[in-house]
Amino acid sequence: MSYVDEIYAKVVEQNPGEAEFHQAVKEVLDSLKLVIDANEEKYRKMALLERMVEPERIISFRVPWVDDNGQVQVNKGYRVQFNSAIGPYKGGLRLHPSVNQGILKFLGFEQVFKNSLTGLPIGGGKGGSNFDPKGKSDREVMAFCQSFMTELSKYIGADQDVPAGDIGVGAREIGFLYGQYKRLTGLYEGVLTGKGLNYGGSLVRTQATGYGLVYILDEMLKKNGKELAGKTVVISGSGNVAIYATEKAQQLGAKVVALSDSNGYIYDKDGIKLDVVKEIKEVRRGRIKEYADAVASAVYTEGKGIWNVACDIALPCATQNELNLDDAKALKANGCFAVAEGANMPSTREATDFFLESGMLFMPGKAANAGGVATSALEMSQNSQRLSWTFEEVDAKLKDIMVNIFAKADDAAKRYGVAGNYVAGANIAGFEKVVDAMMAQGIV
Ligand code: NDP
């Protein structure tokens, strides 16, 4: 059995029931096969892959809080500190009922390579809870966040582990978490990113993942002789990533015609009016259905099905495994030629293989959504220097980073004879830097 197959079998055996983690490990290891086979003896002796697939540490804890009826509620809280070879752990916190240890391990594992790709000195981690912020009052969200941070604060710090937002964690939650951290530790430090602008946040962080996604998409199109202007785009989700991907795509001359949430999707033949979406999602915390009540040219459809909307470019920006093989085939049949992932692992393995085999341009989340964490690292730099850079400065750095990520993925794919396969390219480029650091630091 090859080293890669051996490790994958062990991961499945030793991490039962963690399907998303198995899936992420398989995708990464399969695309690293060429590199690993070429270095097998050295890596085996150092148990490099065994160490790479095992988180350095998982912290799991109880989160008790009191709801508005005076009832005590208990949630599960986690932080997966996956790999600190190239810097302090960095990665978001997710609040969603589906959260479990396996999902956070998949996200933490992906984060290691993503963070490496950014070229910045950040290791990989991820955390969160099965708490559902939907339908909760501000007071309930605060009570949960304060209890969660009371435990988490023991394990994080500006030079140790720096969490950020993810699904269900936006400016409101980061504010509550930061306030409690400061109260407990007495430290005013860059321990969380995505902070408000008046207390250490960075300009562009809110927009960063969505903008970064469109910057790398634009670069991929240009390098393949195509352009974004004038193209029809379908984007799933209507949260942070989807909203700012829509904004940047529109600024660059594309027409975004569909958005979704977990209940259904809207199609607007005239192009999405983003101010209406922002009012519904960012101000009222409402449902995407309400868009069709407000805009005459829009139609709302309940349930899944967004990938049946005809488009040139698809940007999945909601959640893992939201786009399967049938969806991928429907996209291709309707003329879609490019896909870039704003979410983490939104395409199933079969869908990803179909995109690559059918010659579509495909940029995986690990590279495509790295703009968020990259800008978080820029926020950390500004906090350390006690400085605030301008919007233009941060935006220019973000764009530069995304163009560089494309170049690294493109170059690695070419070096290993799989030109145009940005899945392999991104995994190889991210892996090389982490391996170098792990080898240099000995058996830790
Ligand atoms: P938000 O919570 O702001 O938005 C998530 C969106 O996806 C919502 O529209 C939500 O709909 C939808 N969604 C969530 N879960 C499901 C589900 N199970 N089925 C269908 N739709 C769902 O999160 P973000 O925009 O921040 O994150 C979206 C994705 O991008 C995630 O995969 C995240 O890991 C990834 N990402 C985010 C980064 C960031 O900076 N925020 C950075 C890098 C990656 P509903 O409201 O109905 O739940």
* Residue minimizing CA distance to atom 23 of ligand 1: 167
Q: Measure the CA angle with vertex 341, ends 396 and 231; round to 5°.
A: 75
CA-to-CA distance for 420 and 319, rounded, in angstroms?
25
Token look-up 């150092």 returns: 46
For residue 209, give the ligand 1 atom closest to its CA.
40
Ligand 1 close to Cβ of residue 115 (< 6 A)? no
Domains recognised in the chain with CATH numbers: 3-52 (no CATH), 57-191 (3.40.50.10860), 208-368 (3.40.50.720)
Ligand 1 close to Cβ of residue 81 (< 6 A)? no
Ligand 1 close to Cβ of residue 204 (< 6 A)? no
Torsion sign over Cα 418, 111, 378, 196: positive
Among the listed residues 439, 437, 344, the one whose alpha carbon sits nearest the alpha carbon of residue 86: 437
Specify burial of residue 207 (Cβ count, 10 A radius: 0-12, 13-18, 19+): buried
CA-to-CA distance for 385 and 354, rounded, in angstroms?
46
Ligand 1 close to Cβ of residue 235 (< 6 A)? no
CA-to-CA distance for 75 and 96, rounded, in angstroms?
11
* Residue minimizing CA distance to atom 32 of ligand 1: 343
Active-site residue flag, 154 = no
Specify burial of residue 54 (Cβ count, 10 A radius: 0-12, 13-18, 19+): middle
CA-to-CA distance for 171 and 195, rounded, in angstroms?
7
pLDDT at 297: 98
pLDDT in tens, the chain (444 residues): 899 999 999 999 999 999 999 999 999 999 999 899 999 999 999 999 999 999 999 999 999 999 999 999 999 999 999 999 999 999 999 999 999 999 999 999 999 999 999 999 999 999 999 999 999 999 999 999 999 999 999 999 999 999 999 999 999 999 999 999 999 999 999 999 999 999 999 999 999 999 999 999 999 999 999 999 999 999 999 999 999 999 999 999 999 999 999 999 999 999 999 999 999 999 999 999 999 999 999 999 999 999 999 999 999 999 999 999 999 999 999 999 999 999 999 999 999 999 999 999 999 999 999 999 999 999 999 999 999 999 999 999 999 999 999 999 999 999 999 999 999 999 999 999 999 999 999 999
Among the listed residues 86, 124, 183, 188, the one whose alpha carbon sits nearest the alpha carbon of residue 441: 86
Residue to mutate, 98, 241, 288, ligand 1, most ligand atoms under 8 Å from C-beta = 241
pLDDT at 56: 98
Ligand 1 center to residue 317 CA distance, Å? 6
Q: Judge contact between 204 and 171, C-beta under 8 A.
A: no
Q: Measure the CA angle with vertex 49, ends 45 and 50; round to 5°.
A: 85
Q: Judge contact between 228 and 196, C-beta under 8 A.
A: no
For residue 166, how many other CB atoms are within 10 A of its CB? 27
Token look-up 């005459």 returns: 296
Set 105, 126, 195, 281: catalytic member: 126
Q: Assign 3-class secondary structure to 263-305.
A: CEEEEECCCCCHHHHHHHHHHCCCCCHHHHHHCCCEEEEECCC
CA-to-CA distance for 407 and 143, rounded, in angstroms?
45
Ligand 1 close to Cβ of residue 167 (< 6 A)? yes
For residue 188, how many other CB atoms are within 10 A of its CB? 12
Biggest distance spanned by C-alpha atoms of the chain: 65
For residue 164, give the ligand 1 atom closest to its CA.
40
* Secondary structure percentages of the chain, helix, strand, coil, to 5: 50, 15, 35
pLDDT at 1: 87
Among the listed residues 207, 190, 239, the one whose alpha carbon sits nearest the alpha carbon of residue 346: 239
pLDDT at 430: 97
Ligand 1 center to residue 289 CA distance, Å? 17
